[in-house]
A and B are shown apart, each in its own frame.
Chain A
Amino acid sequence: MKSKEKFAKKNFPRKLQTSHEGNLQGNYKKINYAKSSKDGVLEFSFSWLFAIIIGGAIIFLAIFAAVKIIGLGNTQSDVTTAREIGIILNPLESSFTTGTTTSFDVPTETRIYNACDDLDGNFGKEIISVSQKNLGKWSEPENPVGFSNKYIFSENPIEGKKFYIFSKPLEMPFKVADLIYLTSDSKDYCFEEMPESDLKNEIGALSSSNPKLQIENCSQNSIKVCFGSSSGVCNVAVSGFLDEAGYVEKNGEQMSYAGNALMIAAIFSEKEIYECQVKRIMKRISSLAIIYSEKSKLISKNGCGTNFGSELINFARTAGGITSSSQINSIMENAKVLEDTNQNLGECRLW
């Protein structure tokens, strides 16, 4: 008991003065399990403090990990969707069909960011990233997916739950690529004023599977595409002849085209994307022209002396030097000359 008293005197002098011996045990309890001191200050035993700190750390780590895992899941979903979009575009590589269309649905409201880099590698890159709406919040478009062999023309970003894709082959003078046009269920395009032509019939045929392309009874909020000197409100104005060269005016900016495939591309696309894709297409034309010039050398051994190689090399050089869509007219003129020469080669034609 004496040692208890000594310990209590040393550690709790005030308490000891007012307490009688029987209260000492109570004071010890206050040391171990105290909830409040008599001064009103909360006292915690070391074990409680330890438990609270470590418990807090565990909860913090658990929340941190959960947030990171959810973020990882969102990123994974975005990247997978972007990659899947790229993959479903493969069947659009057609050979001689005039146009093919397809659509895909996404489970949640989605934004597709369409970017283009004309300096990446030899052919530049089509870059797709996706952002999806989760719990009312858009995820950050991270980890873009790049494709060297695809040319997608669209607004940026394009938003919706259902997306429509159709393609059209570009020939200049040989087939260069299938240009891909991407639209969503959030915008209608009105081609009511398009002059009667094969292209209008083609768009009419596409509209059966893509109701967002309208050639008659256009909805009020649709984007109106005007041709020539149309009267009335125009969101997109096309100047020039169909299947020839001309320019498309959209949001106060001009985009030059040559041929129907590029005209449609300009209608659906933003200027920045259009210009970049045109440069990429020119690189592909340049490369294909070199391949055809080598083919001409090869088949000349079999008696197909086309004597065509140097013209193709010059064409490759011109196409490779294109820096803006405004120069596209010159390429079209060259392409027409090459096409005529190729047609005259008969059974030795190169493409």
Chain B
Amino acid sequence: MVIRNKFGQLKIQQMAFMLIAVTLFFVLVGMFVLVYKFSDIKNQANTLREQNAMLLATKIANSPEFSCGMALGSGKTNCVDADKIIALKNNIKKYEDFWGSNTNVVVKTIYPKEKEKECTFANYPDCNVINLLGKNISGTYSNFVSVCKKENENGIIYDKCELGRIIVSYENQF
């Protein structure tokens, strides 16, 4: 009798262990699937952010807040109006998240080469970098543009255009 009871207990124990093992197996498989799924979502989110920055870099120069329009020349593409951009920097609080969350836009004059000096409303035009949101964000995409502004030399007003880059930086959130 005692022996039979032990057999019974052993069988329940066996069953319990088996069930725990099966449960653990499913839990582990489930966790593996979830981790895989979530890493996929993260990668996708970062890829989309990257794509957005890339396309933004190629087209942002033509958006109304940046483009030269007919004010500097005759409607050039990939031409940015530095005078307008510095005015935009002065009102940048309104434009936070306008081009995407955690996305910054920097316009830099690269030729003629000079020591980098960030622009403010006070020191403009004696500067060559306009960092719109003032953030340093990791991932970047850039495009070459003409950076144009109105200049006055000996009473003659003319359009001064230099070679520059428009840099769109974004932050990987994960």
Contacts and interface: CB of A to CB of B under 8 A. Distances in A.
Interface of A: 3-4, 7, 28, 32, 46-47, 50-51, 54-55, 58, 61-62, 65, 69, 72-73, 76, 80, 83-84, 86-88, 90-91, 93-96, 121-123, 148-149, 174-177, 284, 287-288, 290-292, 294-295, 298-299, 302-304, 347-351
Contacts of B158: 347
B97 A121 contact: yes
Contacts of A348: 150, 157
Interface of B: 1, 4, 8, 11-12, 15-16, 19, 22-23, 26, 30, 33-34, 37, 40-41, 44, 48, 51-52, 55-56, 58-60, 62-65, 67, 69-71, 75, 77, 81, 83-84, 86-88, 90-91, 94-95, 97-99, 124, 150-152, 155, 157-159
Nearest to B12: A47
Nearest to B41: A76
B37 A80 contact: no
A90 B157 contact: no
Given A349-B71, A350-B71, A84 B99 contact: no
Contacts of B40: 76
Nearest to B25: A58
22 contacts: A7-B1, A58-B22, A58-B26, A61-B26, A76-B41, A80-B48, A83-B48, A87-B55, A88-B55, A91-B55, A93-B59, A95-B62, A96-B77, A123-B94, A149-B99, A175-B67, A175-B69, A291-B91, A292-B87, A294-B91, A348-B157, A349-B70
Contacts of A84: 48
Nearest to B13: A47
B37 A298 contact: no
Nearest to B158: A347
Given A88-B55, A95-B62, A295-B87, 7 more contacts: A86-B52, A90-B59, A95-B75, A95-B77, A175-B69, A290-B91, A302-B151
Contacts of A3: 1
Given A87-B51, A348-B150, A303 B75 contact: no
Contacts of B84: 291-292, 295
Contacts of B159: 347
B61 to A, nearest CB: 8
Given A28-B4, A299-B150, A291 B65 contact: yes
A65 B33 CA distance: 10
A122 B151 CA distance: 33
Nearest to A4: B1
Given A177-B64, A298-B86, A349-B70, A304 B98 contact: no
Contacts of A123: 94, 98
Contacts of B12: 46-47, 50
Contacts of B94: 122-123, 287
Nearest to B94: A122
A90 B151 CA distance: 32
Contacts of A122: 94-95, 98
Contact of B97 (A91, A93, A148, A295): A148
Nearest to A302: B152
